[in-house]
Structure 1
Amino acid sequence: MDSSSAIPLFFPVFLCAFTLCFSLLWARTMRTSKSPPGPTSLPLIGNLLQLGIKPHESLAELAKIYGPLMALKLGRASTVIVSSPSIARQVLQTQDHVLAYRTIPDAIRALNHHEESMTWLPPNQQWRSLRKLCNSHIFSAQHLNANTGVREKKVNDLLKFVHEKAMMKEMIDVGQVAFATILNLISYMSFSVDLIDVRSETVQEFKRVVRGVMDEVGKPNIADYFPVFRLVDPQRIRRRTSMHLEKLNEIFEELIERRLQSRDHQLQSSNSSNDLLDALLDNCQKDGSKLSKNTILTLLQDVFIAGSDTSSSTIEWAMAELLRNPEKMVKAKAELRDKIREGKQIEELDITSLLYLQAVVKETLRLHPPAPLLLPRRAQTDVELCGFNVPKNTQVLVNVWAIGRDGRVWKNPNCFEPERFLESEIGFKGRDFELLPFGAGRRICPGLPLADRMVPLILGALLHRFDWEIEGGVKAEDLKWRRSLGSLYKSSASQSRACFSLLKMIQACMLDGSSSSRKYCTEQCEL
């Protein structure tokens, strides 16, 4: 064939190729035009430099510019940020079936934690089985009602300890004693034993291990932004997380071994504990059970790490806000004096009548949610949100901190005003998307029912029994918040769950009706 005969064939082929390429480019442009708005990203690193040291606050500021649904590029991770109640409802409820999957931070891959963890598993049969076990043996209403006396005893032990410290004029770390109380409660429901003594140094050590896991997961990790670095773990974050988890496993394995020995000696039938560990071991022994020892250890890690720290940090924040706003403290204590008989310890049944105390808890969770950014979700398939395309495998983050401080939703959003909830039916149990400290939908925090009972009970008991002040003549208006990124669950977007460490000591002063006999027992508190 000569060159002249080839020319007529060239043009149709060229035209077809050109048309195909143009169509593909046009389709890509149209898809891009339907992507959520967002700031321009830099080559390779994307928008990482715009996160700052407080990602939830930086993202809230960006949302004021680009809107409540915003697209970012964080290293190699395509991410969408949600900052309004209406879009949060779409993510957590309407499109929950598509967005219930997780992006896995590299630190969570320590000891293959993500492969067995109820928190990080996809919504499959294994995940449903673990949720069912937890709900039925720890967090169900029936089980919680049966353990009301246990919770009230733990609170009474806490009050005795604080009383002793007050009489000796020693300082009280509110976060630490609340942590120990909640930890022992979870331990009793899991193992039928107290794990630590609130008076011993083991409290601080156990808290250090728990916080250690959360701190490591919360550190900006290059392996999250650029997955190729997972092979080398350049910052040794996964390695340190493994060390903390191994320490927890040593404690749990000893308790499991003791229980197995007691069951071998046929003590279980006559002295059944009917706790979480018995339920897990019974399940293991069933034919066809997929529950392994490693699954049990991972589940216990999830329950203890999330359950103990989340509630204790909320109590710590509530006390800090009341100290900074003494007029609110006066109102809370006045309600307690009015509703609780003098000399009587607060009980769970009293909580329903303590409306201002409940409002204090809600307002604390609004301003200081345990997770400023909910744990990262991942789109299992392409999905549409508010008319915008969110491609498959995009990471989706709900900024509950931004929602809680949105002036379009809340009046005086940055002020601590519990009174706002006295005139509102808004709650934090996943039905109202203006207040989402525990999430919503199928992946709502399973420990919410326990936190709902323990936080107001402990906070109310401390306020009712003791008078709280700041030593050193520091005025309430002079207090300064001192936040630390501290414990953050971060995904490849360098964010999510945060439990702020207030790094403070607060005084406890015994009330016995005489101002001269009040015991001042703390050092200066700088919040």
Structure 2
Amino acid sequence: MSFIFLLALIFVFVFFINHFLFGIKNLPPGPNLWQFLCNISPLLKKPHVALQNLAKTYGPLMSIRIGGQLLIVATSPDVVKEIHKTHNRIFSGRYLPSFYYYIPDTKDASLTMAKECNDTWRFLRGIGRGCIFSTSAIESASTMRKSKVIEMVNFVRNKKQGKVLNIEDTVYATFANIITNVMISRNLFSVEGKSANDVKVMKFLQEVIDKSSKLGLADMFPGLKVVDFWSRGKAMHIYDNSNLIWTDLIKERRSTKDKTNSSQDFFDVLDENLFSDVQIALLLTELLIGGTDSTTITSIWLMTELIKNQEVLSRVRNEIRNHAIKENEIDESLLSECQYFHACIKESLRLHVPGPFAVPHRATDTCNVNGYVIPKDSVVLVNAWAIQVDHNNWEDASSFKPERFLDSKIDFRGADFEFIPFGTGQRMCPGANVAIKNVRLVVASLLHYFEWSLPNGVDPSKLDTSDEIGTTLKKAQPLCLIPTWIGK
């Protein structure tokens, strides 16, 4: 280990000598090494806030050296537009910690993480669109979605009424079962509580998320890639655990496939196109994380803001009852008529964007942005959180005000650069529409069938809204509520 550390010190010394003597001219402004080190603590604790503060000094397009890696940070709608609209193709590359690419077979088995928009990525994107993300795919899954939500409602009514319930666990299991039924036509989680299998799967998924957010030696010092044994070890650990989770499920899915049934799930299409079991396992992992983590966080923040703002909650409930109830049940197809409820979802996404930076992009070539040079292979971060709470972009930006979206055409589909909760450009999240659909149905059901109160008679207006960041921006304290059935 001391030898590797010595190599790292030598590399850092050589790098900074080369950088300061022969560095690229006209990079975006940014903190020097000393200024960067002075900001290490806030950057580690709340990077989205620390980078927002640095942008106040250095401007909406910054460059920061992290070892041998150049990081570009965008913090304004105009700069984001130039990056992801004017230079969309150049910034369509992805950057992930090097460990990810040590996992066998990842090169041709990723929707979100693919390094470039190559033919395999386009092929997978097409499969995803046909099976999961298209309007027809979303509508064809409506009966299944309804059944998963009914399972959730029945569990809360029969097992948790009058008791303290951690909403996150129940909502997470519901979203997970919705996406796994689309992928492999079966539940993966128990909505009634964490079974041993639930704990094992959730631990694995969290491990993937955590490791994807941490840099290895080769990420900071590319010249030391050959001795980055830590990243290789992480990769094989993820690979082995992925096989443990999915191998039996894949075998079971093949053995129970009804060949007389023409309907296909995501697994069927991958299997028919000769993807290996390892590739299928990695794709299922990627989609399970994408289909549960951000939707759960969005739902928790939305419920938090509605409980905290009782007048808003009352208006949403009345709107759902007046416009989305058919034969005493919620009709998902009618929820789109609940404009105020939809505005609440947008406002929650604005104020509490689940991914403050989304997945980092990579410049596939050198180009000019905002008058500055962005070198090839630079890592590009868009600070979506900073943009969405900036008082220059939003009136009374720190307050929860759904009304701001009622008479506004601003939407989350990537064309309005002041509001980009699902990203923007060629690599924006393909599941935005299905995510909104799922959140809307789950939260509407929780609001329609139950009254919710805080434990120990706490005043709802005092509900804590502090956050904490990992790879996502979560509520710092669990949302624990007491449900009371109010019927249909």
Judged with a 3 Å threshold, the aligned counterparts in structure 2 of structure 1 residues 393 and 271 are, in CA distance, closer, same or farther, namely same
CA apart distance, 1:448: 1.5
Deviations 1:189-226 (A, max 9, x none): 11111222212423444333222221232346555323
SS of residue in 1 equivalent to 2:373: strand
Residue number in structure 2 paired with 1:259: 253
Judged with a 3 Å threshold, the aligned counterparts in structure 2 of structure 1 residues 451 and 223 are, in CA distance, closer, same or farther, namely same
Deviations 1:291-341 (A, max 9, x none): 333222221111111111111111011112222323322222232233244
Residue number in structure 2 paired with 1:15: none
Q: Residue 429 in 1 paired to residue 417 in 2?
A: no
Supply the distance in 1 between the matched residues of 2:311 and 2:36 (Cα, whole angstroms): 51
TM-score (norm. length: structure 2):
0.87
Supply the distance in 1 between the matched residues of 2:133 and 2:309 (Cα, whole angstroms): 33
Supply the distance in 2 between the matched residues of 1:398 and 1:508 (Cα, whole angstroms): 38
Q: Residue 413 in 1 paired to residue 397 in 2?
A: yes
Residue number in structure 1 paired with 2:207: 212
Q: How does 1:116-515 map to 2 (within 5 A)?
A: 116-121=109-114, 122-167=116-161, 169-202=162-195, 203-219=198-214, 221=216, 223-227=218-222, 239=233, 242-244=236-238, 246-262=240-256, 267-268=258-259, 270-284=260-274, 291-341=275-325, 344-486=328-470, 488=471, 498-500=472-474, 502-512=476-486
Is this contact kept in 2: 1:484–1:502, CA < 8 A?
yes
Is this contact kept in 2: 1:310–1:499, CA < 8 A?
no
Match for 1:483: what amino acid? D
Judged with a 3 Å threshold, the aligned counterparts in structure 2 of structure 1 residues 221 and 211 are, in CA distance, closer, same or farther, namely same
State the identity as a percent. 31
Residue number in structure 2 paired with 1:100: 92
Deviations 1:396-445 (A, max 9, x none): 11110011011111011111111111121111111211111111221111
Supply the distance in 2 between the matched residues of 1:304 and 1:86 (Cα, whole angstroms): 33
Match for 1:217: what amino acid? S
Supply the distance in 2 between the matched residues of 1:311 and 1:356 (Cα, whole angstroms): 19
Residue number in structure 2 paired with 1:524: none
SS of residue in 2 equivalent to 1:92: helix
Judged with a 3 Å threshold, the aligned counterparts in structure 2 of structure 1 residues 208 and 126 are, in CA distance, closer, same or farther, namely same
Is this contact kept in 2: 1:137–1:143, CA < 8 A?
yes
Judged with a 3 Å threshold, the aligned counterparts in structure 2 of structure 1 residues 350 and 238 are, in CA distance, closer, same or farther, namely farther
SS of residue in 1 equivalent to 2:426: helix
Unpaired stretches in structure 2, ≥5 consecutive residues: 1-18
Unpaired stretches in structure 1, ≥5 consecutive residues: 1-24, 285-290, 489-497, 514-527
Supply the distance in 2 between the matched residues of 1:239 and 1:322 (Cα, whole angstroms): 44
Supply the distance in 2 between the matched residues of 1:363 and 1:47 (Cα, whole angstroms): 30
Judged with a 3 Å threshold, the aligned counterparts in structure 2 of structure 1 residues 347 and 230 are, in CA distance, closer, same or farther, namely farther
Is this contact kept in 1: 2:205–2:285, CA < 8 A?
no
SS of residue in 1 equivalent to 2:65: strand
Residue number in structure 2 paired with 1:73: 65
Match for 2:187: what amino acid? D
Deviations 1:15-43 (A, max 9, x none): xxxxxxxxxx9x978x62x3212222239
Flag the structure with larger Rg: 1
Question: What RMSD in Å do the two structures reach over aligned CA positions?
Answer: 2.7
Judged with a 3 Å threshold, the aligned counterparts in structure 2 of structure 1 residues 477 and 227 are, in CA distance, closer, same or farther, namely farther
Is this contact kept in 1: 2:105–2:278, CA < 8 A?
no
Q: How many residues align?
A: 464
